[in-house]
């Protein structure tokens, strides 16, 4: 079978705060995408390398896929992995994603959010910002609630909050090696570790507090989630608790919601498992998208299914039915383009590291 050629694009944009952000996209050379998928990557991660497999797989399945490195992440500018306000990440994603949707060739296409880990929180907050805009969301091991197992004591949070404006960028938050805990396959684990665009130092004080606050805000409002979603989680995940995804599934008000729990799989469902497991996960993701990429689909065409316990192959499903130099200037400013188009994902790319 002939391998489908993929267009890969890179572009820098400038956000409302004057910071240059790296963006990229994947789609088939030969046809218009049947729907759009927007990537929200995890904490410390980036799109052009770490999320490349996700982008190419979904593009090969016929989707247009677009990602953005958050400020301070990957190839975007800003202090490395410093999140001054979680709201800034959400607003930057909202501006970029909607600028893509507004392009003539994409008007009328279904629009899906794809969030991994912390990116799951970003995706849900994007939905809360504009509840009617998004067609649906894929949430892979999302950070949308703080597990009781790891929730910090209120006294600790209070003490850290008192000094966050004095030493906001200090890397003083103790953490375990997340890479060792998240990626099961040793070869893939080392590939992640060798990616210099991935942040591997201790979290900065204000960053950790902003992530905590975002999770707590979501935890208190899970019932306000109304868009169709598919949440996927490894049952052996020790980075984000699978109980968090169960809580989202149980409390969300969405009419169309699906959860799949994968026995024995870790946090890195799409990038850290053996190849066979990754194939299973992406097969599930693409099947879910394919059923929903037509905006004319009648929700009543999805039959209601009983909820199965996670011991039944780790699957639960229910459909509840009822009636740099040149940047693209956002927020109405002039747009100047500096793009790189690559078919077959071959070609030269210039890497730009964020400031420490």
pLDDT tens profile 249-269:
999 999 999 999 999 999 999
% of the chain surpassing 90 pLDDT: 66
Tokens of 319: 């459909």
Beta-strand pair 20-28/64-68? antiparallel
Closest Cα to residue 260, out of 226, 290, 278, 233? Answer: 233
73 is catalytic: no
Known catalytic membership, residue 215: no
CB 269 within 8 A of CB 239: no
Instruction: State the pLDDT at residue 147.
Output: 61
Q: What is the mean pLDDT of residues 326-351?
A: 40
Task: Detail the DSSP E strand segments found in the chain.
Answer: 6-14, 20-28, 35-40, 64-68, 110-116, 136-140, 229-234, 256-262, 315-319, 328-329, 340-343
User: 6-343 falls under which CATH superfamily?
Assistant: Alpha/Beta hydrolase fold, catalytic domain (3.40.50.1820)
How far is 221 from 247, CA to CA, in rounded Å?
Answer: 11
φ, ψ for residue 234, nearest 5 deg: -80, 135
Tens of pLDDT along 146-173?
Answer: 666 656 677 777 888 888 888 889 887 7
Task: Find the catalytic residue in 76, 117, 245, 254.
Answer: 117
Find the range with the poorest average confidence among 109-123, 161-175, 241-255, 300-314.
300-314
| Arithmetic mean of pLDDT, 315-338 | 42
What's the confidence (pLDDT) of residue 3? Answer: 67
pLDDT number for residue 9: 95
pTM of the prediction? Answer: 0.83
Q: Is 117 a catalytic residue?
A: yes
Say what the pLDDT of residue 165 is: 85
Report which of residues 335 and 55 the model is more confident about. Answer: 55
Pairwise pLDDT comparison (300 vs 262), residue with the higher score: 262
316 has a pLDDT exceeding 70? no
Q: Which of 69, 185, 237, 284 is catalytic?
A: 237
Of 267, 271, 310, 354, which residue is the catalytic one? 267
Looking at per-residue confidence, does 298 or 127 come out higher? 127
Q: How wide is the angle at C-alpha 265 spanned by C-alphas 239 and 63, nearest 5°?
A: 95
Question: Quick one: what percent of the chain has pLDDT higher than 70?
Answer: 79
pLDDT level of residue 218 (50, 70, 90 thresholds): very high
Q: What is the average pLDDT score of the chain?
A: 83
Quick one: average pLDDT of 13-38? 96
Name which residue leads in pLDDT, 206 or 293. Answer: 206
Q: What was the pLDDT predicted at 340?
A: 39
Domain ranges, ordered by start, for the chain: 6-343
pLDDT band, very low/low/confident/very high, at 43 (cuts 50, 70, 90): very high
pLDDT confidence bin for 178, thresholds 50/70/90? confident
User: Looking at residue 55, what is its pLDDT?
Assistant: 97
Residue in 240, 223, 22, 220 with CA at minimum distance from that of residue 120: 240
């Amino acid at each position: 079978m002939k391998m489908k050629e993929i267009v890969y694009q890179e572009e820098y944009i400038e956000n409302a705060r004057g910071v240059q952000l790296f963006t990229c996209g994947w789609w088939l050379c030969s046809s218009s995408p049947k729907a759009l998928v927007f990537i929200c990557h995890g904490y410390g991660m980036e799109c052009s390398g770490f999320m490349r497999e996700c982008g190419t797989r979904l593009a090969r399945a016929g989707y247009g896929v677009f990602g953005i490195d958050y400020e301070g992440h990957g190839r975007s500018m800003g202090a490395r992995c410093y999140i001054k306000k979680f709201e800034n990440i959400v607003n930057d994603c909202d501006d970029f994603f909607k600028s893509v949707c507004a392009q003539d060739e994409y008007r009328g296409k279904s629009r899906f959010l794809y969030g991994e880990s912390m990116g799951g929180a970003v995706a849900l907050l994007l939905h809360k910002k504009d509840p009617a805009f998004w067609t649906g969301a894929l949430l892979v091991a999302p950070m949308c609630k703080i597990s009781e197992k790891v929730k910090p004591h209120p006294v600790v949070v209070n003490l850290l909050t008192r000094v966050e404006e004095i030493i906001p960028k200090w890397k003083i938050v103790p953490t375990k090696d997340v890479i060792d805990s998240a990626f099961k396959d040793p070869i893939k684990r080392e590939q992640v570790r060798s990616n210099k665009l991935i942040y591997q130092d201790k979290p900065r004080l204000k960053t950790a507090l902003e992530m905590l606050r975002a999770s707590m805000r979501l935890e208190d409002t899970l019932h306000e989630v109304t868009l169709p979603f598919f949440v996927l989680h490894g049952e052996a995940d020790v980075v984000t608790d699978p109980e968090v995804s169960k809580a989202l599934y149980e409390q969300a008000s969405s009419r169309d919601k699906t959860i799949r729990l994968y026995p024995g799989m870790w946090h890195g469902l799409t990038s850290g498992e053996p190849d066979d497991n990754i194939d299973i996960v992406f097969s599930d993701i693409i099947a879910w998208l394919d059923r929903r990429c037509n905006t004319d689909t009648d929700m009543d065409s999805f039959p209601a299914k009983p909820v199965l316990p996670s011991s039944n192959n780790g699957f639960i499903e229910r459909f509840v039915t009822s009636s740099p130099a040149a940047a693209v200037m956002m927020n109405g400013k002039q747009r100047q383009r500096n793009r790189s188009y690559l078919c077959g994902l071959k070609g030269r790319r210039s890497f730009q590291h964020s400031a420490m």
